[in-house]
Amino acid sequence: MFKPGDDATPPFEEPWHAQALAMADTLVTSGQVSAPDWAETLGAELRAAEAQGKPDTTATYFEAVVAALEKVSADLGVSAEAQTERRAAWEDAYARTPHGQPVTLDET
């Protein structure tokens, strides 16, 4: 990840990287999460990842962003239970959707 000469890397390697940062920045610019709270929460996740010996990669960084988003969402009333349930619903949706079709939560 620390490659000083590397300027060819695109801004986002995976669509979810961009979506995660977009959510975080939108929550901050709309005033629902304060900028210092976001920085502290993300900083804590990054330190935790480092302490756990995770590799210093873009994937590790964005996984910390996702973990921080989960924390601030819980503070905004999106409980861990709601997150677990919703994830299971998405997994089911992916499982039942034929290849090439858009994946939606709506079962009808």
Partner 1 sequence: MTQDSEDAARLHRNIHSHLPSDPALRVKTLESLMVERGLVAPESIDAWVEAYSEEIGPKRGASVVARAWVDPEFRSRLEADASEAIKDLGVDGNATAHLKALFNTPTQHHLVVCTLCSCYPWSILGMSPAWYKSAEYRARSVREPRKVLAEFGTDLPDDIAVTVWDSTAELRYLVIPERPAGTDEWSEDQLAAIVTRNAMIGTERDLVAEAS
- Which residue ranges make up the site for partner 1 (CB under 8 A)? 1-7, 9-12, 14-16, 18-23, 25-30, 32, 34-36, 38-40, 42-43, 46, 50, 56, 58-59, 61-63, 66, 69-70, 73, 76-78, 82-83, 86-87, 90-91, 94-97, 99, 105
Nearest to 39 by CA among 52, 27, 57, 54: 27
Min dist. Cβ of residue 29 to partner 1 (A): 5
Min dist. Cβ of residue 52 to partner 1 (A): 12
Compute the distance between CA of residue 105 and CA of residue 108 in angstroms, rounded to an integer.
9
Q: Give the contacts of 103 (CB within 8 A, at least 6 positions apart).
A: 90, 93, 94, 97
Min dist. Cβ of residue 3 to partner 1 (A): 6
68 within 8 A of 74, measured Cβ to Cβ: no
Structure tokens at 95: 């499982």
The number of CA neighbours under 13 Å toward the Cβ of 76 is 16
Min dist. Cβ of residue 71 to partner 1 (A): 11
